[in-house]
Structure 1
Amino acid sequence: TLVYATPIGGMSTLTGTGVNLILVGMWKAVIRDWNGGLCPVSFAEKMVLSVFGFLIILWMTRRITYDIPGWGAFFHGLVGDGSVSVMVAVLLFIIPNKKQEGEKLMDWNECKKLPWNLILLLGAGFALADGVQSSGLADVLSRALDFLEDVPFWAIAPAVSLMSSIITEFITSNDATATLVIPLLYHIAKTMHVHPLLLMVPGAVASEFAFLLPTSTPSNVVGFATGHIEIQDMLKIGVPLKIAGIAVLSILMPTLGNLLFMI
Structure 2
Amino acid sequence: MLVLILLFVVPSSKPNISCAATADDVSQRGPRSTVMGWDTINSKMPWNIVLLMGGGFALADGVQKSGLSRLIGEQLRVLDALPAWLLVLVLCLLVASLTETASNAATASIMIPILADLAEALCIHPYYLLYSATIACSFAFMLPVATPPNAIVFGYGVLKIWDMVKAGVVMNVACILILCLSINTYGYFGFGFNTFPAWAVINPSNHTCFNQ
Normalised TM-score (structure 2): 0.62
| Pairwise CA distance, 1:130 | 5.0
Query: What do residues 12-57 of structure 1 show as CA deviations (whole Å, max 9, x unaligned)?
Result: xxxxxxxxxxxxxxxxxxxxxxxxxxxxxxxxxxxxxxxxxxxxxx
Aligned to 2:170: 240
| Pairwise CA distance, 1:149 | 0.9
Report the CA distance shift for 1:234/1:174 in structure 2 as closer, same or farther (over 3 A): same
Q: Which runs of 5+ in 1 are unaligned?
A: 1-111
Determine which structure has greater relative contact order: mean sequence separation of CA pairs < 8 Å that are 6+ residues apart, divided by chain length: 2
Aligned to 2:91: 160
| Alpha-carbon distance between aligned partners in 2 of 1:192 and 1:166, rounded to the nearest angstrom | 23
| Pairwise CA distance, 1:122 | 7.5
Aligned to 1:260: 190
Report the CA distance shift for 1:156/1:221 in structure 2 as closer, same or farther (over 3 A): same
| Pairwise CA distance, 1:226 | 1.7
Q: Which of 226, 232, 247 is the equivalent residue of 2:156?
A: 226
Q: Is 1:144 matched with 2:78? A: no
Report the CA distance shift for 1:247/1:135 in structure 2 as closer, same or farther (over 3 A): same
Aligned to 1:17: none
Matches within 5 A, 1:82-121: 121=53
Report the CA distance shift for 1:233/1:133 in structure 2 as closer, same or farther (over 3 A): closer
| Alpha-carbon distance between aligned partners in 1 of 2:154 and 2:147, rounded to the nearest angstrom | 11
Q: Which runs of 5+ in 2 are unaligned?
A: 1-37, 42-48, 194-212
| Alpha-carbon distance between aligned partners in 1 of 2:181 and 2:151, rounded to the nearest angstrom | 30
Report the CA distance shift for 1:234/1:129 in structure 2 as closer, same or farther (over 3 A): closer
Matches within 5 A, 1:10-29: none
> What is the SS of the residue equivalent to 2:184?
helix
CA RMSD of aligned residues (A): 2.9
| Alpha-carbon distance between aligned partners in 1 of 2:63 and 2:159, rounded to the nearest angstrom | 36
Amino acid at match of 2:70: D
Q: Is 1:250 matched with 2:180? A: yes
Aligned length: 150
Aligned to 1:211: 141
| Alpha-carbon distance between aligned partners in 1 of 2:59 and 2:154, rounded to the nearest angstrom | 28
| Pairwise CA distance, 1:196 | 0.5
Contact 1:211 1:238 in 2 (8 A): yes
Normalised TM-score (structure 1): 0.51
> What is the SS of the residue equivalent to 1:169?
coil
Amino acid at match of 2:131: V
Amino acid at match of 2:152: V
| Alpha-carbon distance between aligned partners in 2 of 1:131 and 1:177, rounded to the nearest angstrom | 12
Contact 2:144 2:151 in 1 (8 A): yes
Greater gyration radius:
2
| Pairwise CA distance, 1:211 | 1.0
Aligned to 1:169: 100
Aligned to 1:135: 66
| Alpha-carbon distance between aligned partners in 1 of 2:168 and 2:109, rounded to the nearest angstrom | 23
